[in-house]
Amino acid sequence: MRTSRPDQPFRAVRHQSTSALALDSALEATAADEPYDDGTDHVRFPPLERLPNATKLPSPLPERALTSAKLAALHARLSLPQKLPLQTLARALVDISADENPLFNNVNLAFVGQTITHYHVAEWLMCRYPRLPMTIMYAAMKAYAGDETLHSVARSWGVESAAEPGGEVDSGLLQFSMYKPVSHIGFGYGRKDNSRVEQGRWRRGIANRVLFDDDFGEQIGYDTRKKAQIPTSSQRTFSYGTEETRAAAERAHAAAVRAVVGSVYAHCGREAGKAFIRAHILSRTIDVSTLFEFKSPVVELARLCQREDFEPPVARLLSETGRLSRTPVFVVGIFSGKDKLGEAVAGNLDHARYKAAMNSLKSWYLYSPGENVRVPSEMLVEGSKAWEPTYIDIGEIIHG
């Protein structure tokens, strides 16, 4: 049974949240005037220190970083150098959605970190797999340095997030708001109207992507998962545990990781920043051959052979278990003249031919000069060996 009491207003007191305190300052004043006595022996357990007026601030003051145990532990866990002060690390954990003041949030550090990270990932991928098509290159870039990856990097560092940002929150917690939309941070121009691209009125080819879009070849201000323009107004209501909150958490964690990279670069220099990226981002693993999705591999392979002046590819049956056997298996190889380009095993002939063509194309695209290729940034170190030109491919196969 529900009874409504319109004459008595509902009173809610949330001592742990800034928003509640900020919403009703009169309520706070009354709560402060009448301390709640729960019978605690205040001689043995002295009352907690009253929070300073900083509770009104959107993010904790920088000097509170020096007393945060969580922050010091994070600093040591990442074995960051002493040159990197705790205040900077604390700032790297304040997202733009928590504090809009660029003097106190991590936007600038994240921008630096993003640039450095993308540069190192890009040069490493380009030197290691010089023949990757641009779409795969973008996907590999995103696999190494995308939001989702950096979110898991932040989680593997043990970065915890505050339920709600505010000035009273511990400096060692990542602070972001899941309900505030944020604009894109980073390079890229963006288009006036992203829906035009979706409708197919504006063509968005690879060259177009290189020119306009961000470092992962994605439209700026456009949510690829939802296929919709990201709303700019804060009037939208979000519930907890949805795709939006997940995306916001990913973005904030990724920004924090980038900001840590940026602060290592800013305080300790280029080599330290590179070593940090190598240790935490480039040391992660992915099988690049799983990123490919071919539409018409046989045609593409024929184009490749035509371009490279190989003999046209021919599929040949290498062996089979017998067509009338219970589970027939065919081994098909693709040959160009006398050279075998690739082979595959499948349950029927067409499938085996497609798979063999895909394997041939992958073995072409995934050419690598070695696992420990030299990258251009190694030349920035004094006394490094003379640079040998890396392999540069003429480009991917284009067919209609």
56/226 with CB nearer other proteins: 226
334 belongs to the binding site for other proteins (CB under 8 A): no
Closer Cβ to other proteins, 31 or 328, answer by number: 328
Identity of the residue, 119 or 179, whose beta carbon is nearer to other proteins in the bound complex: 119
264 lies in the binding site for other proteins (CB under 8 A): yes
Judged by CB under 8 A, the chain residues 217 through 256 that form the site for other proteins are none
Give, as ranges, the residues between 35 and 74 that touch other proteins (CB under 8 A). Answer: 45, 66-67, 69-70, 72-73
Per CB under 8 A, 340 contacts other proteins: no
Task: Output 11 or 385, the one with its CB closest to other proteins.
Answer: 385
CB of 279 to other proteins, least distance (A): 4
The stretch among 10-18, 252-260, 309-317, 376-384 that binds other proteins (CB under 8 A) is 376-384
Which is nearer to other proteins, 74 or 182 (by Cβ)?
74
Based on the number of CB atoms within 10 Å of its own CB, is 385 exposed (0-12), middle (13-18) or buried (19 or more)?
Answer: exposed
Decide if 344 contacts 359 (C-beta within 8 A).
yes
Residues in the chain: 400
In a 3-state reduction of DSSP, which class is residue 367? coil
Residue from 117, 102, 127 nearest 153 by CA: 117
DSSP 161: B
Candidates 61, 282, 349, 373; binder of other proteins (CB under 8 A) is 282
Helix (H, G, I), strand (E, B), or coil: what is residue 119? helix
Q: Interaction with other proteins in 138-157: which residues (CB under 8 A)?
A: 138-139, 141-144, 146, 148-149, 152-153, 155-157
* The binder of other proteins chosen from 7, 33, 34, 371 (CB under 8 A): 371
CA–CA distance from 141 to each of 114, 204, 281, 382 (Å)? Answer: 12, 19, 11, 28
Dihedral in degrees, nearest 10, Cα atoms 123, 128, 130, 135: -70
Q: Is 348 an interacting residue with respect to other proteins (CB under 8 A)?
A: no
> For residue 345, what are the β-bridge partners?
331
Burial of residue 27, with CB atoms counted within 10 A of its CB: 0-12 exposed, 13-18 middle, 19 or more buried: middle
Task: Compute the least distance from the CB of residue 177 to other proteins, in Å.
Answer: 22
Backbone φ and ψ for 223, nearest 5 degrees, come out as -85, 110
Least distance from other proteins to the Cβ atom of residue 123, Å: 7
Q: Tell me the closest approach of the beta carbon of residue 23 to other proteins, in angstroms.
A: 31
Smallest distance, other proteins to C-beta of residue 5, A: 39
Residue in this structure with the two tokens 């027939």, named with its chain if needed:
328
Separation between Cα atoms, residue 325 and residue 323, nearest integer Å: 6
- Using CB atoms within 10 Å of the CB of residue 12, give its burial: 0 to 12 exposed, 13 to 18 middle, 19+ buried: exposed
Tell me the site size for other proteins, rule CB under 8 A.
96
Choose the binding region for other proteins from 21-29, 195-203, 234-242, 377-385 (rule: CB under 8 A): 377-385
187 touches other proteins by CB under 8 A? yes
Residue range at the interface with other proteins (CB under 8 A); choices 22-30, 97-105, 240-248, 287-295: 287-295
- Cα separations in angstroms, 178 against 96, 245, 336: 11, 5, 56
